[in-house]
Structure formats: C-alpha cells, structure tokens
Amino acid sequence: MVTISNAALQNEIYVVINGRELLDCTVQQPAGEDCPEAKQYIFNTNVVFDRTGKVINRFRKINLFGEHAHTPALRPDLGVFETDFGVVFGHFICFDLMFQVPAVQVVQKSRVKDIIFPTMWFSELPYLTGSGIYSGKAGALISIMPGLPTTKVLVAKVPKVPGRVTEPYPGPIYDDPANLDNLKLITDPSLPSHVSRLLELGSQEFTLVDKDVTCTFKVTLAQREGNTQYRYRAGVFSGVRSYSGVATGGVRICGIYACINETRSSCGERLSTYVANTTGIFEELVITARMPTPVVVYELSTDDSIVYPVTSNVAIMPLESKEYTYTKVAYNNVTVHTMMLTNKFAELYSFALWGRRFATDGQVEDPPLPDEEIETSETPTTPAPGASTVHLLNKLLLTCFVVFVCIRL
C-alpha cells in the first residue's frame, strides 16, 4: 500500500487498487468502524488514492463469489469518490456487478456515470463476456479477449461525457484464432430453460412468450459458403438462474444465440477448431421485447429491474455501436425494447436483450424445459433460400485482475 501511495504521489495520478483488508476487532478501532464481534475480519476491498498519495475512499465487496475466507461488507456502503478534473467515479468489485446493490444503486442513487471495476471475471456464453474500457453508447473504446494467459495494460482516452467520443480510439485487440481454440468458456445454465425456436434459412417472423416477457423476432437468415455452420436459436426466458452454484438471480432475456447443431444442449458452445465462414448472414434481424417497466424501490432509490443490449461476434468481442440500434419506450406498466442489427455481415454469435429482476434473487433456479419445447408463433414462418456463412472463434474462460489509473485530461 505504501508503494502504491508513493507511486500515486510521484506520478500525480489517481489510483484504484483491489486487495485483501484485515480488520482486527480484537483491538480498539476508530470511531465509525463496525465491529460486531471481537474477532478478525478479512474483506475484499478497493482502495482509492488521490494525486498526493492519500487514501480518499474505500469499498468492501458486498456480494462474494464463494471466497470463504472473506466476509461480505458489514454495511452496504457505496464506493464513490470525486476528482479534481470534474468527474465523480463509482466503484465496486467483480460479482457486485450482477446485483442491485451496489452496481445499479451507485449509478441511480449517486447519479454516477463513470464506473471503475476491478475484477476476476469469468466470461460466460452467450451473453456475459469481455474485458475492456467502455464509454456509454459509444461502446468499447478498447477491448480484449486473449486466447492465452497474458498481462495486458489497456489504455484509452475516456471522454468526460460518456458516449461523446470525438477522438480516434484503439478498438478491439484480436488474438490469433488458433490461440483461442485451446480456451474454454462457461455457459449460461439457464439456456435449457429458455423457450426457444430453431431459426431456418430465409424469412421468418414469430413471437415467443415466457411468463411476463414477450419477444417478437423478425429474421431473414442466409448462409455463407462453408462446410461447417453454426445454427441459431431465438430464445426467451423469465426466471431464476444459478451463478455457478454460488448464488441465484432473476433474469429476463430475449435474444438470438449460436449453437453447434440443432439441439438445445449445443447452444452456448463454440466449435472446437477455428474454421472460416461458419456464421450466418442476418440480412434482417429485429428483436422486440415487451417486459415489465421497472419500479423504484424507494428505500434503495433504485429500480427493481434493468435491461441491457448485449452482443457478441464469434471472436467473443462486442459489436461496434454503429452495427446495431437499441431503443426503449415505456407504456405504463410495460416497456418495449427494440434491438436491430444494421450490419448484416457481422459474424454474429449472440444478439440479445439481457435483464435482471432483483426481486427473485435467492429463489430456486428454474428447471430445464422438456425436449418438446413450448413455442408461441403469431406470424407464420416463410422460408426462402439464402446465401451466406461466417467466422467462428473459440471456447474461453477469461480471468483478469484490473487496476485502474485516472489521469487529468
């Protein structure tokens, strides 16, 4: 800690670092420090240093991912700090990202627009992947999905107003496809519980329903010239999923995702060896989802649900923001989310609306659906011949520790 403090002072920069914190409650602690019992507590903690090397903020992880040697924060305090260059940052740690407190609360209650997120992240197909620096609707300023264990410092100039990017930025760092062949990713365990439908070549429009989520898909799918092809499913899910057996959480999902073959069990997987021209060409792809409008939980000053557009190509990189559009319109108790692909040549792996419903966190996860899937179709499918295929890339588990440095722009 002393070394980091000195480095912040010498370089006149803000530094956020993640580490283990020992609180010894067997001895007298300063006023304001909670000590429920006379024992030692170990926390997973962020510490923030200013330009003088002074500690100006601390955040203790609230939602532990296993971590049996650690104690969750004794109080659900939010991590927020101000800088001398006019930006207020929120910060939390890894698995906290998935929860109402602190991830959503720090944005909505504290009105923070910039987040620092140290993490040891497990990428999960088809929806939750990636590592990078992002700026609102502008998307990823720089992103990486390495195929081999590596240490990489990502650097990008981040605008003070999220999404208002006026200068060139680095963009994605692509690894050699052969490297990615050796890596494994975990798969969303809720996929077998999705109400889903296999996409066919040609034009099709249909609606799938699961509880309080209604999804309409308008698709024109063609195939590339290749011998090995991904298949795609449209899926909808409103229920409870598991996070690797550590916790459960409520989710609402509406999307298109790739599968190795026609079976549901092959979805969220990737081909074991890189081959070119394995994805479809989506000459048209529009997803319209009707989901409950979020309700404010007043004691938390935070919505009870949230929805994000999520995308991935076969390199497991997000699509650029110019490659799709996303809008939402609230009609009283129902919000209509619309997502449209604008680049038909994108090597698409997944394209979805992914949301959290916090009220059902902690409940038992939904069981898989039987093989005879439930499908609700409002508009008949009209197959038509097409012509296209695309790329693949691989299977991977991304783990990364991140230390963020803030400089005056």
Whether residues 31 and 96 share a domain: the answer is yes
Coil/strand/helix, residue 239: strand
DSSP strand pairing (140-144 vs 171-173): parallel
Indicate if 150 and 77 belong to the same structural domain. Answer: yes
CB-based contacts of 187: which residues, under 8 Å, 6+ apart? 124, 125, 126, 267, 268, 269
Same domain, 224 and 240: yes
Kind of pairing, strands 79-82 and 88-91?
A: antiparallel
Are 168 and 301 found together in one domain? no
What string of pLDDT tens digits covers the 409 residues of the chain?
999 999 999 999 999 999 999 999 999 999 889 999 999 999 999 999 999 999 999 999 999 999 999 999 999 999 999 999 999 999 999 999 999 999 999 999 999 999 999 998 889 999 999 889 999 989 999 999 988 888 999 999 999 999 899 889 999 998 888 788 877 899 999 999 999 999 999 999 999 999 999 999 999 999 998 889 999 999 999 999 999 999 999 999 999 999 999 999 999 999 988 888 899 999 999 999 999 999 999 999 999 999 999 999 998 999 999 999 999 999 999 999 999 999 999 999 999 999 999 999 999 999 999 976 555 444 444 433 332 222 222 322 233 333 334 443 3
The amino acid occupying position 309 is P
Q: Are residues 212 and 350 in the same domain?
A: yes
CA 34, CA 138: separation in Å to the nearest integer? 41
Note whether residue 135 is domain-resident.
yes
User: Looking at the structure, do residues 6 and 24 belong to the same domain, yes or no?
Assistant: yes
The answer on 336 and 212 residing in a single domain is yes
> Is 389 among the domain residues?
no
CATH number where 116 lies: 3.60.110.10
Residue 150 and residue 294 in one domain: no
| C-alpha 27 chain-centroid distance | 41
155 and 9 inside one domain: yes
Q: Give the C-alpha separation, 43 to 61, whole Å.
A: 7
The token duo for 3 is: 């070394």
Return d(Cα 101, Cα 92) in angstroms, integer. Answer: 10
Do residues 356 and 263 both lie within one domain?
yes
Supply 251's token pair. Answer: 């989710």
**Within 10 Å of residue 60's Cβ, how many Cβ atoms?**
22
CA angle 12, 18, 19 (to 5 degrees): 120
**Can you state the percent helix, strand and coil of the chain, rounding each to 5?**
10, 40, 50
Please report the pLDDT score of residue 346 as a whole number.
95
- Give the per-residue pLDDT at 403: 38
Confidence (pLDDT) at 50: 98
Look up residue 360 and give its DSSP letter.
G
Both 72 and 206 in one domain: the answer is no
Q: Is the peptide bond before 118 cis (omega within 30 degrees of 0)?
A: no
42 lies in a domain? yes
Q: Is residue 269 part of a domain?
A: yes
393 inside domain = no
Structure tokens at 28: 């007298």
Q: Are 146 and 253 part of one and the same domain?
A: no
Predicted local distance difference test score (pLDDT) of residue 372 = 63
How many structural domains are present in the chain? Answer: 2
pLDDT of residue 375: 56
Which domain covers residue 277, as residue numbers?
187-383
pLDDT of residue 237: 99
